[in-house]
Each structure stands twice: as structure tokens, then as C-alpha cells.
Amino acid sequence: MDGFAQLPGGRRRRLAQGISCRGVGLHSGLTLTLSLLPAPSGAGISFRRTDLGLTIPARADHVVDTRLCTAIGLPGEPQARVGTIEHVMAALAAAGIDDALVEVDGPEVPILDGSAEPFIFLINCAGAAEQYGQRQSLQVLKTVRVEDETGAWAELSPLDDFAFDAELEIAFPGTAIGTQSLGLRVSTASFRAELANARTFTLAEDVARLRAAGLARGGSLANAVVVDGPLVVNPGGLRRPDEFVRHKLLDVVGDLALAGHPIAGRFRGARSGHALNNRLVRALLADPAATRLVTGHALEAVEAPALLAATAA
């Protein structure tokens, strides 16, 4: 079913109906129920902790943690947070859903298989409906760049086309990951074809440390790729030779969706993760001269997948 991809552009889109699933939380190990629900026009995306009765806007200024995932929360209420939101945010953005309420009965979104593909499936099953209100994107007008102390960096710059291009390089020397890069014109079609099924990954040497810190309690070979030096531990291997950089680009799509609107521009980065992605969005929004609102949805401007460049070594 491709119902949500076939609607004509212009009006805002919500889910046509609610849909739910259950799965384990990557870090908490809890079995959690997630529901994707329609929301009124202009509501944007928000997360509701049904166990706490609290709603958190999915915005960059509500991000409270970026160490191992992207987590949002409410000021002054440390218990009011939802973690690991990046995969479902990427799926909603790529599917062209402007308004949705994401309900979860615990502290994080279920990890499912570690990719965005199950969320695309859920959105696809729920379908989409148009509603009153104009779709808008943030057009990047000037280059905004952030860096960290390791030399990793990320930037957004203007693009001649009304679209979103993303290029990323990652480097994990001495492992099966190595150095990988990928450039992609991100659209509804290309996200599904090139990024959606790329799974999260970790190094075997980090697993024990994470669990000792009370994290990764729900992690397994069913929901993450585990790399042990030159080896991929998962019996089924990789879904693609460059699955690692594809997943990192998937994360970029989800993290940048916290700008509140699709971004029309070019993203480039080297070794960028959740922290730099969030800093980049905050820097973009902090500069009134860096963007303007324009009509339309940038990720739906291109119908065909378009790989710009790809390398893996």
C-alpha cells in the first residue's frame, strides 16, 4: 500500500487512522506499546507519555539527551522524557506526515528491528489524509556549520533545487565498518529504497560498558548490528555493505525533523551524530537570516531515488 505517498501536495497531512505496536526498548529493556495517532492541523509531531499523562513537542529545543539516542523532555521534569525517537521521526518525515501524536507507555520508543522500516510499514498501513492548512518547509538561505572538539562537523547550506540533499562520511578504523560515505537526495521514495531498512549498530567492546551503566538492556542481534573488530557478529550479516553510513543518514533525517518543518537545503557532515545534528538544528533556528518558510514539502519534491555518491572501504 502506498496511500500516503500518492496524495497530491499542498494541504497538510495527518494519519488517516491510529495504529499500534509493541516492542522492547533498546536501553530500558521494557516491553512498550507505541501508538501513532492522527493530530489536528498545525499540531506538528508530539509524543505523549500515556503512563505519565504528559505531552512533549518533537522539537530541537526539547532535546534533553543525545549521548546514545535522541531524547526529548520537559523542562524541570526529569521523568518526563521519551528516548530513541529518531527512527520514528525519520519515518514520519519521509512519509510526509505533518501532524501526528506518538503515544508510548514508557521512557522510550520501541526499537523494533533497529531500523525505520517497521515504522514506515505502520504509517503505510494507517494511511494518510489531507486536512486544512498549508504545508511548509524551511528553506536554508545561508550556510550554518557546527563542529566538536574531535573535528567532527555538520552543516546545512542553500540548495538551488527545492529538495533535501544529504552527504555523510563516517570512520571507524580497525573495524568492519571502516570509512564509508553516502550522498543522497532524500525523498519519500529514496528514503524507503536506500535508508529505511538500515539498522542501528554498536561495537562489541561497548556492549558490556553500556549494560554496566544500565543501558542497552533490550539490545540484541535482533535489533542491532554488532561489530567485533573486523567481524560482523550477526548471523545474517549486513543488509547492505554500507549499512552503517545508511543508518547514520537515517538518523540525520530523524534528528533534522526536529526543526519542526522539512528542510530544503543541503546537509553535509563528517562523523556527525545525534549531538552535532541537534546543535546544527538549534544553530539554524537561532539565526533569523538563515532560513525562510516556503510552501510545500521538500522531501516530497522528488519522486525518484537519486544516489549522489557512495563509497565504502
Question: Which of the following is catalytic: 27, 87, 247, 274?
Answer: 274
pLDDT of residue 1: 33
For residue 158, what is its C-alpha cell? 542553500
Q: What is the 8-class DSSP label of residue 209?
A: H
pTM: 0.93
Q: What is the pLDDT of residue 308?
A: 66
Grid cell, residue 249, equals 543518514
| Residue spans of the chain under pLDDT 50 | 1-9, 303-305
Round to whole Å and give the CA distance between 277 and 192. 21
pLDDT at 313: 57
Residue 307 is predicted with a pLDDT of: 61
pLDDT at site 216: 73
Give dist(CA 131, CA 10) in Å, integer: 10
How do residues 103-154 score in pLDDT, each as one tens digit? Answer: 999 999 999 999 999 999 999 999 999 999 999 999 999 999 999 999 999 9
Rounded Cα–Cα distance for residues 181 and 171 (Å): 9
pLDDT computed for residue 217 by the predictor: 83
274 carries an active-site annotation: yes
CA separation (Å) from 161 to 114, 139, 193, 247, 269? Answer: 32, 10, 21, 25, 20
Q: Name residue 134's beta-bridge partners.
A: 11
